[in-house]
Amino acid sequence: MNNFSIAFLLTLFAGLATGIGSVLVLFIKDVKKSFLSISLGFSAGVMIYVSFIEIFFKAQESLVSYLGVRNGKIVTVVSFFLGVLMIGLIDKLVPDIENPHHAHNQNGANNLEQERGVDEDAQLLRMGAFSALAIAIHNFPEGLATFASALKDPSLGIPIAIAIAIHNIPEGISVSVPVYYATKDKKKAFFYSFLSGLSEPIGAFIGYFLLRSFFNDLVFGILFGMVAGIMVFISIDELLPTSRNYGQGHQEIYGFVAGMAVMAVSLLLF
C-alpha cells in the first residue's frame, strides 16, 4: 500500500472510533470510569510526547531545509502557536452548552436516566445532535493532522491515529447517551455517533486536495508545526481534564506517564 492509502485508512480508523464509544454505552452495561480515565490520560501522554519530541522537530527540520536555520526555527514556532490558536478558536466558537469538551453531567447512562424528566426527550435529542455537530467540528482538523502525519511518515501516523482514536471513544459516549435516552433507538444513537466521526476523513480529504499541489518542505513543515500545536491543545484542554473527572487518585497521571513511555519506546524501536 502507498502512503496515501495508509494515511486515509488510519484517519478513517481514528474518526470512526466514536462508534466504539457508542457501542460501549449501548451494549455494555458497566463501563468502568477508571478505564476511561487511564485511557484518556494514556492518549494525552502519547500526543504530548510525540508532539514535542517528534512532530515539532520534523517540522523544524523541513522548514530549516527550506528557509535556513534562523527563519526555519522562527516559522516552526509560529506554526506551532498558529495550530494552538486555530483549535482554540474552533473550541471557542462552539457554544458551551453543546460543546462535549466542556464539563456537562456525564456521570453515565444510569444517572442520566434517573435525572431525566418526562418532558426532556426533545432537549436530550437536541443535546445529542449538537454534541455530534460540535465533535464533527473538532474532529475536522484532527483528521488533517492524522492524515498529514501518516502521509509524511506512516510509522509516526500509527501511534497518532491510535491516540486520537482513544480520545474519540468518550466523544462517542457523549453523543449516543442523550440520543438513546431521548429516542430509545439504539440504531439512531449509533448513527449520530458514527456520523460525527466521519468529519475526520472528510477533513483529511479536503485538506489534502486543497494542498496537494503545494506539498513541499515548506507546506509540510508549517502543517506539522500546526499539528503539534493542535495535539498539545487537545491534550491539555480536553483529555487531561476529562481524564481527571473520570478517575480517582492519580489514575490520569499513571495513564499519562504510560502513554509517554509507550510512545518513547515505539520511537526508539521504529
Domain region containing 144: 3-269
Distance (Å, rounded) from C-alpha 255 to C-alpha 19?
A: 22
Per the structure, the count of domains in the chain is 1
pLDDT 10s per residue in the chain (270 long)? 578 888 889 999 988 888 887 787 677 656 677 877 887 788 788 889 888 998 899 899 999 999 999 999 999 999 999 999 988 888 787 655 445 555 444 444 444 444 444 445 676 676 667 667 767 766 777 787 788 778 878 887 888 888 788 777 777 776 777 677 777 788 888 888 888 888 888 888 887 787 777 778 898 889 889 888 988 988 888 778 878 887 777 888 998 999 899 888 877 875
- pLDDT for res 67: 95
First and final C-alpha spacing in the chain: 18
- pLDDT for res 250: 86
Q: Which residues, other chains included, contact 59 with Cβ-Cβ below 8 Å and sequence gap of 6+?
A: 76, 79, 80, 220, 221, 222, 223, 224, 225, 227, 228
Q: Give the long-range contacts of residues 104-112, CB within 8 A, separation 24 or more.
A: 104/174, 106/170, 106/173, 106/174, 106/177, 106/245, 108/31, 108/33, 108/177, 109/25, 109/177, 109/180, 109/181, 112/177, 112/178, 112/181
Distance (Å, rounded) from C-alpha 18 to C-alpha 29?
A: 18
- pLDDT for res 111: 44
3-class SS of residue 102: coil
Residues making up the binding site for Fe(2+): 139, 142, 168, 171, 200
- pLDDT for res 235: 85
Burial 153-180 (b: 16+ CB within 10 A, else e): bbebbbbbbbbbbbbbbbbbbbbbbbbb
Residues making up the binding site for Zn(2+): 142, 167, 171
Q: Which residues, other chains included, contact 262 with Cβ-Cβ below 8 Å and sequence gap of 6+?
A: 42, 45, 46, 159
- pLDDT for res 124: 64
- pLDDT for res 174: 67
Residues making up the binding site: 139, 142, 167-168, 171, 200
Q: What residue has cell string 492519580?
A: 250
CA distances from 243 to 54, 77, 264 (A): 24, 28, 21
Distance (Å, rounded) from C-alpha 33 to C-alpha 107?
A: 9
What is residue 99's DSSP assignment?
Answer: -
